[in-house]
Every structure is written in C-alpha cells, then in structure tokens.
C-alpha cells in the first residue's frame, strides 16, 4: 500500500519503454483511456465524500435547529469551540490520545511483525491469534475490556492487586491510559500485518551480510530494516492517525468521555453534538476541526518522508 505525495513522481516509473516500441504505436494509444479508467473511482468518491463534506462545511457556518438550517453565523461555531477552554481541552486530549497510541502501536507492531517473520513452529497459529483483534468491532472491544478491567467483578482481579484497589475508570489518567491500551489492542493487527509484509521484502541475504560484518541486532535494525521499512511505516502512521483522530464508537462505549471529562475527545464532541444534542452546526464544526488535524498530520508525514529521502 503506498501513499505518497502526488506531486512527486513515483521513483521507479517503468518508462521510458524501449525506443523502438515507443515509436511503433505512439498515436494508437487512446488518449481518453486513462480518464475512462479513473473516472468511475473519482466519481463515486466525489459523490460520497465531497458533496457531504461541502455540506458539512456549510452546516458548520450556520445555526441549526434540529435538521433545519437557520441563520448564517460565520465562524461562530468555531469560535465557540476554539474560544473555550473546554474546546482546547478536548483538542489537547485528542492529541495525547493519538500520539500516545501511535507511540505504542507502531513499535509494538514492528516488534511483533519481526517475531512473526522468523521461522517458528506454529507460525500460522501465532499469526492467526495475534491478528485476531483485527476482526473485533469497537463496540465489542470496549465492552469486553470494560469488564476485564472492572475492579469489582473483572476477571483480572484489579480490585485487589497486592492489597491496592486499581479502579482505572475512577482515575482520569488511568482511564485515558486504559482507553489508549484498548485502542492499541484493536488497531495494532492491521499495522502488524503491513509491517510483516514489508519485512518480507527485505532480502535475508542483507541481514546475513550484516551479521558477517559483526553488526549487532540494533545496528542491523537501524541500518537495514528501518530504512527499508520507512515507506511502510509512513503508510501505517497515516492510516492509524486517521483512525485514531476519528475514533468515536470505542470511546463512546468504553468511557463515554469520563471520568471528570478525562477522555472527552474532539471526535466524541462531534458525535454528541450531532447525534445526542442535535446541534448539527456545532457538531459539523467539531468534525471540520478533526478534518483539519487529519490534513495537518498527513502533510507532516509527507514532509517528513520527503526530507528523509533527501538526506
């Protein structure tokens, strides 16, 4: 899977073709063919994404009453969010949530992928087991973990850990930590499988060669694995970032924003305003803010990978 900055042409364009062939059929290649091939995809994406996002932008600039658009209010809805400490607190928590989840999920996926890449007995079994959370929906994941972590009747027995009671849902920091843990649990399998796939393209001979050189595993990882994995890690980072910023169902079911508002994320604000409180305009403003964060992070990754390529 590649996501790269579109302005930069692919590194290995499989052209020019041999000159003879190129001359042979230069004009018979239908000029409209590529457009015809690409058009259906663009059209479907445009109808389902672009019209609604324009619609949402418009909503965010209006006062709404249930599903009715009322007065144009300019940026008032945004001002209500960005002008309040609660709004910034949500943004801050979203950033913590996303960054901490990434910081856990990516190294973990890389590590597990590395393990799964080595010949081992029951490799298929391990792969199937480790990737299983991938097919668990967010609702179910949240419910199961809520139960596991419950201090009173959870099977992990957190009510009495060497005499101390650990109630993660009563403590703001622990609740956020638990939320991040569950988030990582449902999202690392996709990252792992992408990393695993990328690892398989690294020729074993390269690693052997570095062994001969006497390089330790960490040097090898830094000199060989990491550079070759960079494009994949970039894709993984983008996919996970989008997933995390936009996460609603998991948070709603796991903590619903509590305790003490400690897990109130921008995505949850967007959901509540739109679907629980019927403030569609304000809800749209929250989701546009999410959109902006997605773009900013996406652009930052693109910039990062480009500068790495230069250096």
Sites for another protein among residues 27-86 (CB under 8 A): 29-31, 33-35, 37-38, 40-56, 58-59, 65-71
**Using CB under 8 A, which of 18, 26, 163, 214 touches another protein?**
18
Structure tokens at 246: 């936009």
Out of 196, 237, 240, 265, point to the residue binding another protein (CB under 8 A).
196
Q: Which residue has the tokens 């144009």?
A: 72
Stretch that binds another protein, among 14-22, 92-100, 219-227 (CB under 8 A): 14-22
Peptide bond into 259 cis (omega under 30): yes
Q: Is residue 95 packed enough to be buried (19+ CB in 10 Å), middle (13-18) or exposed (0-12)?
A: middle
**CB neighbours of 23 closer than 8 A, spacing ≥ 6?**
none
State which residue, 78 or 234, has the beta carbon closest to another protein. 234
Question: Which of residues 77, 210, 225, 255 is near another protein by CB under 8 A?
Answer: 255
Q: Is 174 in the site for another protein (CB under 8 A)?
A: no
Point out which span in 87-95, 98-106, 149-157, 219-227 binds another protein (CB under 8 A): 149-157
CB 184 to another protein: min, Å: 10
* 190 lies in the site for another protein, by CB under 8 A: yes
Q: Whole-number minimum distance, CB 133 to another protein, in Å?
A: 6
Among 170, 177, 300, 304, contact with another protein (rule: CB under 8 A): 170
Count of residues binding another protein (CB under 8 A)? 149
Q: Give the contacts of 66 (CB within 8 A, at least 6 positions apart).
A: 278, 280
Q: Which of 2, 27, 85, 164 contacts another protein by CB under 8 A?
A: 2
Q: Which stretch binds another protein (CB under 8 A): 95-103, 218-226, 290-298?
A: 290-298
Which of 79, 96, 103, 197 touches another protein (CB under 8 A)?
A: 197
Please state the closest distance from residue 96 (CB atom) to another protein, in A.
Answer: 18
Minimum Å gap between C-beta 150 and another protein is 7
Binding residues among 78-137 for another protein as defined by CB under 8 A = 111-112, 115-120, 124, 126-137
* C-alpha torsion 91→97→103→105, nearest 10: -140
């Amino acid at each position: 899977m590649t996501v790269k900055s579109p302005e930069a042409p692919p590194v290995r364009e499989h052209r020019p073709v041999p000159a003879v062939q190129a001359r042979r059929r230069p004009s018979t290649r239908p000029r409209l063919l590529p457009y015809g091939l690409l058009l259906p995809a663009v059209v479907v994406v445009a109808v389902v994404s672009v019209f609604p996002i324009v619609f949402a932008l418009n909503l965010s600039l209006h006062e709404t009453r249930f599903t009715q658009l009322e007065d144009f209010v300019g940026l008032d809805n945004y001002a209500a969010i960005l002008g309040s400490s609660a709004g910034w607190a949500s943004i801050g928590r979203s950033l913590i949530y996303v960054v901490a989840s990434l910081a856990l999920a990516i190294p973990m996926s890389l590590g597990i992928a590395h393990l799964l890449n080595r010949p081992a007995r029951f490799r298929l079994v391990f792969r199937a087991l480790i990737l299983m959370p991938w097919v668990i929906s967010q609702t179910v994941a949240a419910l199961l973990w809520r139960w596991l972590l419950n201090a009173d009747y959870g099977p992990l027995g957190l009510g009495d850990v060497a005499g101390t009671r650990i109630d993660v849902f009563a403590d703001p920091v622990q609740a956020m930590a638990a939320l991040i843990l569950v988030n990582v649990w449902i999202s690392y399998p996709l990252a792992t499988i992408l990393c695993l796939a990328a690892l398989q393209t690294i020729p074993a001979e390269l690693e052997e060669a570095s062994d001969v050189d006497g390089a330790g595993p960490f040097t090898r990882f830094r000199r060989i694995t990491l550079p070759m994995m960079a494009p994949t890690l970039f894709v993984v980072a983008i996919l996970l970032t989008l997933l995390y910023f936009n996460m609603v169902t998991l948070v709603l079911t796991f903590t619903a924003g509590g305790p003490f508002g400690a897990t109130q994320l921008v995505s949850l604000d967007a959901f509540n305003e739109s679907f629980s409180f019927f403030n569609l305009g304000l809800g749209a403003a929250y989701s546009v803010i999410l959109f902006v964060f997605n773009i900013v992070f996406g652009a930052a990754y693109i910039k990062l990978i480009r500068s790495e390529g230069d250096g």
